């Protein structure tokens, strides 16, 4: 279980540092704006379609996911939200939610009053920019998912999903030598990849038998990341994780940088 006081700030810091430099005071202000830290059971709806939330939610521990359910009952997962991710930074502008968000695993969720976020953003351009960045990266991920569903086979989609989650969790230091938390069922994975649950199972077996991944309990091990990346045609550029000044490792970069 997370200790709100000592762990909240580091999580926000790790995440937002990816957007660029951020002053300590800005981080403090954001940390203090988190009015509640709730412990939420697995499979709990945090925000439902049609809601007009008064709080911005931040995932601090555990996994949550965006999703939509069609009239015929089909469900599509739209995004996975991992520690450091904001759930609904900008709903206020749109008015009401056009999708729902729920936890998969038991999670710790921070809540910031919507108006306080707006106020903070107005006070600090750097913080505003960092929150923007977080929001735009989520949009970039959405675009890549569209490519995933539109133009990759089941194997490619799954491999891509694993690579992305690995990269995202690694960026907030939640990967211990290739092993990451993976509290999903195969049915939930299926709804993320746009394939059936049965086919998800069979596709998974292919990746397993090829020695690419191991999935035991709620732990996922990417046993052969290069193989997965190749299979997935994975290019992490869209995650915008590398410092903006150093993209593509140009020859004039300092040797050893970012190793």
Partner DNA sequence: CGGGCTTTTGAGCCAAATCAAAAATAGTGG
Partner DNA sequence: CCACTATTTTTGATTTGGCTCAAAAGCCCG
By CB under 8 A, name the binding residues for a copy of itself: 66, 68, 70-72, 74-76, 78, 90, 93-96, 98-99, 129, 132-133, 136-137, 139-140, 142-147, 149-152, 191, 193-194, 233, 237-238, 240, 244, 247
Of 181 and 191, nearer to a copy of itself (C-beta) is 191
Of 10 and 227, nearer to a copy of itself (C-beta) is 227
Q: Does 154 bind DNA (CB under 7 A)?
A: yes
* Minimal distance, residue 219 CB to DNA, in Å: 11
- Assess contact for 232 and 160: CB atoms under 8 A: yes
* Minimal distance, residue 192 CB to DNA, in Å: 12
With CB under 7 A as the contact rule, the residue among 88, 155, 164, 191 that binds DNA is 155
Q: Does 153 bind DNA (CB under 7 A)?
A: yes
Q: At which residue do the structure tokens 């953003």 appear?
A: 121
Footprint of DNA on 179-238 (CB under 7 A):
185-187, 194-199, 201-205, 217
* Minimal distance, residue 218 CB to DNA, in Å: 8
* Minimal distance, residue 199 CB to DNA, in Å: 3
């Amino acid at each position: 279980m997370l200790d709100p006081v000592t762990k909240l700030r580091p999580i926000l810091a790790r995440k937002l540092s990816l957007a660029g430099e951020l002053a300590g005071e800005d981080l403090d202000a954001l940390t203090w704006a988190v009015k509640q830290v709730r412990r939420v059971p697995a499979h709990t709806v945090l925000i439902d379609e049609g809601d007009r939330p008064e709080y911005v939610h931040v995932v601090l521990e555990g996994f949550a996911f965006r999703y939509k359910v069609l009239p015929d009952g089909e469900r599509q997962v739209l995004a996975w939200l991992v520690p450091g991710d904001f759930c609904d930074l900008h709903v206020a502008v749109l008015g009401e939610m056009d999708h729902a968000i729920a936890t998969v695993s038991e999670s710790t969720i921070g809540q910031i009053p919507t108006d306080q976020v707006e106020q903070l953003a107005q006070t600090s351009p750097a913080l505003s920019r960092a929150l923007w960045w977080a929001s735009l990266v989520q949009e970039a991920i959405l675009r890549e998912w569209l490519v995933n569903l539109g133009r990759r086979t089941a194997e490619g989609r799954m491999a891509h999903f694993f690579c992305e989650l690995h990269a995202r969790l690694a960026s907030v230091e939640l990967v211990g030598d290739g092993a990451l938390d993976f509290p999903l069922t195969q049915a939930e994975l299926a709804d993320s990849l746009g394939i059936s649950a049965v086919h998800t199972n069979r596709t998974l077996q292919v990746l397993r038998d090829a020695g690419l991944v191991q999935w035991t309990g709620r732990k996922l091990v990417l046993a052969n990341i290069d193989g997965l990346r190749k299979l997935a045609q994975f290019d992490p550029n869209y995650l915008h994780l590398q410092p903006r000044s150093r993209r593509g490792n140009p020859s004039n970069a300092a040797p050893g940088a970012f190793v």
